[in-house]
């Protein structure tokens, strides 16, 4: 089983590996830069070397690492300058991941801001296709959404339809978030529910395209569209469902990454440990 959590790069990017090792992770996710701004400071040769050296020295497989896009870009934006900046940011991140040897970049699908799904998807596909031209081995992973207003891709059928439009195909994959799936209506609370959900996923997207699993329990109820992650087993998905997901995913050797909160109830050290205990 490859399992870990999102870790901070605070201080310098190689600190992410220390943070992952400390938490006994065998997989991890980072932001390659401050996720709250548009500007990304260029990675120096030294940053890159330190990150790669530390990763090599750890027992973590390079293919169990991923980066997440920053928060501000909106790949479905109807505003021309906002769209352009977002595409530029996506291209930049694909390049940064390539330099760091990170194989996967997870991205949200953006918001069409009320202009309709069809137009939003057109822009999204254009943005992704542009970034797909970057010549390196980084794969862009589309993350299923929680089904918030003006978003697309919470429904596996629609996610699959978007995914199939992307070329070259080898540059694209999918990241499934369990919290997002649950709050958009997929019942992950029981073993049967999990089985049925992944059957749907297989039908529309294909398990071979699933490269990273975001394992999060949900604060909200099924179908509520609320993107609020919760501690593993303590949310509305619960222990039975989480356990069934972990078993199914680790059998397929897909890296599992937690994006759970850090609060008085638990921190990420504990959530990582609990996932290992559940199987
Ligand atoms: Zn995400
Ligand atoms: Zn989320």
Give the model confidence (pLDDT) of 75-112 as tens digits: 999 999 999 999 999 999 999 999 999 999 999 999 99
Of 232, 238, 236, the residue nearest 262 (C-alpha) = 232
Identify the pLDDT of residue 218: 98
> pTM to 2 decimals?
0.97
Of 165, 169, 168, 143, the residue nearest 156 (C-alpha) = 143
How far, CA to CA in Å, does 158 sit from each of 10, 44, 147, 153, 161? Answer: 36, 39, 12, 6, 5
Give the model confidence (pLDDT) of 124-156 as tens digits: 999 999 999 999 999 999 999 999 999 999 999
Q: Give the 3-state secondary structure of residue 89.
A: helix
CA of 107 to the centre of ligand 1 (A): 6
Q: Give the 3-state secondary structure of residue 67.
A: strand
CA of 146 to the centre of ligand 2 (A): 7
Q: Give the 3-state secondary structure of residue 262.
A: coil
CA of 34 to the centre of ligand 1 (A): 15
Residue 66, H or E segment: strand 65-68
Known catalytic residues are 36, 68, 71, 108, 143, 177, 180, 214, 227, 229, 259
Q: In which band, very low, low, confident or very high, does the pLDDT at 166 lie, cut at 50, 70 and 90?
A: very high
Identify the pLDDT of residue 208: 97
DSSP string, 139-165: EEEEEPP---TTB---SHHHHHHHHTT
Separation CA 88–CA 73 (nearest Å) = 9
Identify the pLDDT of residue 100: 98
Identify the pLDDT of residue 140: 98
Map out the domains of the chain as residue ranges: 3-278
- Among 3.20.20.150, 3.40.50.2020, 3.30.450.20, 3.30.360.10, what is the CATH number of 3-278? 3.20.20.150
CA of 236 to the centre of ligand 2 (A): 15
Identify the pLDDT of residue 265: 98
């Amino acid at each position: 089983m490859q399992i870990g959590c999102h870790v901070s790069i605070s201080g310098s990017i190689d600190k992410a590996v220390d943070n992952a090792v400390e938490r006994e992770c065998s997989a991890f996710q980072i932001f390659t830069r401050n996720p709250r701004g548009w500007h990304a400071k260029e990675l120096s040769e030294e940053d890159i070397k330190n990150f790669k050296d530390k990763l090599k020295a750890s027992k973590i497989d390079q293919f169990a690492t991923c980066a997440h896009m920053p928060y501000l870009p909106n790949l479905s934006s109807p505003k021309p300058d906002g769209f352009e900046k977002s595409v530029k940011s996506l291209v930049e991140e694909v390049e940064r991941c390539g330099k760091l040897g990170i194989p996967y970049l997870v991205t949200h699908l953006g918001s069409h801001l009320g202009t309709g799904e069809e137009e939003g998807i057109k822009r999204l596909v254009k943005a992704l296709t542009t970034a797909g031209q970057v010549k390196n081995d980084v794969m862009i992973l589309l993350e299923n959404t929680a089904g918030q207003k003006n978003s697309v891709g919470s429904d596996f059928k629609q996610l699959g339809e978007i995914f199939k439009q992307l070329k070259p195909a080898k540059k694209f994959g999918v990241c499934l978030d369990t919290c997002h799936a649950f709050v958009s209506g997929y019942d992950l609370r029981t073993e049967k529910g999990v089985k049925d959900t992944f059957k749907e996923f297989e039908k529309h997207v294909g398990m071979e395209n699933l490269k990273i699993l975001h394992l999060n329990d949900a604060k909200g109820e099924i179908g509520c569209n609320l993107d609020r992650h919760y501690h593993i087993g303590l949310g509305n998905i619960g222990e039975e469902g989480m356990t069934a997901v972990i078993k199914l995913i680790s059998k397929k050797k897909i890296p599992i990454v937690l994006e759970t909160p850090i609060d008085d109830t638990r921190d990420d050290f504990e959530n990582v440990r609990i996932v290992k205990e559940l199987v």
